[in-house]
Amino acid sequence: MDFTFPTYIKQVMTALQDAGFEAYVVGGAVRDALLGRKPDDYDIVTNARPDEIKLLAKQHNLSLVDKVGQNFGVVMIVMGKKVVEVASYRNETYGRDAHRPEEVWYCDTLEEDLGRRDFTINAMAVDLDGNITDLYEGQEDLRQGIVRTVGNADKRFDEDALRMFRACRFVAQLDFTYDKKILKAIGNNLERVEGLSLERIRVELEKLLVSEAAGKGLDLMVKSGLAAQSCHYKEQGQEFKIPILPELEHMVGMSQNPQFHPFDVWEHTLVALRNGDRSMETSWGILLHDIAKGLEGIRGTNEKGEPTDHGHEEKGAEMAFNILSRLRFPKELAERVSWLVGNHMRFGANIDANDDVTWRWLRKCARSGEFRENKLMAEAFKQLTNVCIADMVATTASKQELISAQMYGTKLVTMAYLVPIHTTDLNVTGKDLLPQGFTKKELEEVMPVLLRRVQDGELKNDYDVLEKAAKTWKARQEKKGQN
């Protein structure tokens, strides 16, 4: 294959080779290039030691990122707007920290360096001439679409527990299957997860959830037992044990009403994820939209003995907020996902409703305090549309029902832009009314009145209409004062 390296990568590799050292691009960049994808970044490995790399950079007037990674044999070289990671061939051992090496030492050959890596598809290297070093059949695994560890899976995961989550993530990102030995090896090393930090787990979750095959990665995470484990988090000098996603386990095999659902709750969720838009909010919303189904107080049966889950959206919204808060995601994300989960059933119930019903829903949302401006409310309804259509695709919904849902979602977003959330969304401002005899105190009173009347549909959000209504209000207030 013809590898085309960016100029700045060629410059670093050439400088190393001209000084008598070996230089290879390794890992994800090689994998992605072989898959026909453009690599996000390039890592270089060499038999040069860090001090030799730094000296070489100085000779070529190249800047360094001070101290970053140097304890691990890594030197960060600044190439214009890019930073290139250049690592010495190395090996490592792990201790209590289930991800960060306890000891790192240098080795002399590329073969030794590749042998410490996680998966075969990440253990390939290529030189400037495009020659590939592939000691573990990584190219064959790419062709077969399989994630397989370098050597013994138990040993790889015992060394670095984050590799178990990386396996789930690569399955999701690449839409690959995985070697059966991985599932067993994860089960053998679950106790190592407690040694991982929440920050590391959260990064892997974020990357996995926005992947093309997020459902496949999550399925491995749940069925292997990873999701049910806990990691740790330090805050103000205290260490906390944080459950990852144990709430997902009960969804596996949980039956649903066959009239509407061809899948159990977990399978339904995985199919829905495949049809999401890959945004963080929507992906979490789809993953958690049925999280409360089957729970005590929610699960029931109808007159035919078929399962029901009335109120699962309200309970699910509460659970979604708690889960994302526990995992220390931003409050804004937790609130938005909770809103999506809490409203996903209302969307379907209102598809055939008249505009009056929809307007009432939008006005209620506008007054809820959940949105600062109508642009954010419109964005939320766009995400809700995606969640609900992904949900419907994984049911017995017909093609026409899906078309109707998309049309309704488009209408919702359009209407949301028309509903003012704040007085700043009105087409008249205090500055407009101040020269017309309004005092600041009167403006503080009249602007909320105008906002409510526009939200209620009594007034159009039009300058002339609002100006006239404000003057009428002022006249009434003055008349009351005279009486």
Across the strands, what pairs with 239?
234
Q: Could you tell me the pLDDT band of residue 65, with boundaries at 50, 70 and 90?
A: confident
**Which residue has 């590898």 as its token pair?**
3
Q: Which helix (H) or strand (E) holds 173?
A: helix 162-174
> What pLDDT score was predicted for residue 381?
97
CA distances to 402, 420, 441 from 457, rounded to whole Å, are: 30, 11, 25
**pLDDT (mean) for 371-376:** 90
What's the pLDDT tens digit per position in 209-265? 999 999 999 999 999 999 999 999 998 889 999 999 999 999 999 999 999 999 999
- Gyration radius from the chain CA atoms: 29
Dig out the tokens for 103 from the structure: 């000891």
Closest listed residue to residue 197, CA positions, set 161, 245, 236? 161
- Decide if 316 contacts 342 (C-beta within 8 A): yes
**pLDDT (mean) for 58-77:** 79
Q: Is the predicted pLDDT of residue 67 greater than 70, yes or no?
A: no
Q: Could you tell me the pLDDT band of residue 99, with boundaries at 50, 70 and 90?
A: low
**For the residues of 202-219, what is the DSSP string, one character each?**
HHHHHHHHTSTTHHHHHH
66 compared with 34, residue with greater pLDDT: 34
> What pLDDT score was predicted for residue 216?
97
Q: Could you tell me the pLDDT band of residue 1, with boundaries at 50, 70 and 90?
A: low
DSSP three-state, residue 231? strand
CB atoms within 10 A of CB 145: 14
How far is the C-alpha of 276 from the C-alpha of 350, rounded, in Å? Answer: 21
DSSP-H helix ranges across 224-295: 265-274, 280-288
> What pLDDT score was predicted for residue 146?
98
Residues in the chain: 483
Q: Is the predicted pLDDT of residue 68 greater than 70, yes or no?
A: no
Orientation angle between helical segments 214-223 and 162-174, nearest 10 degrees = 150
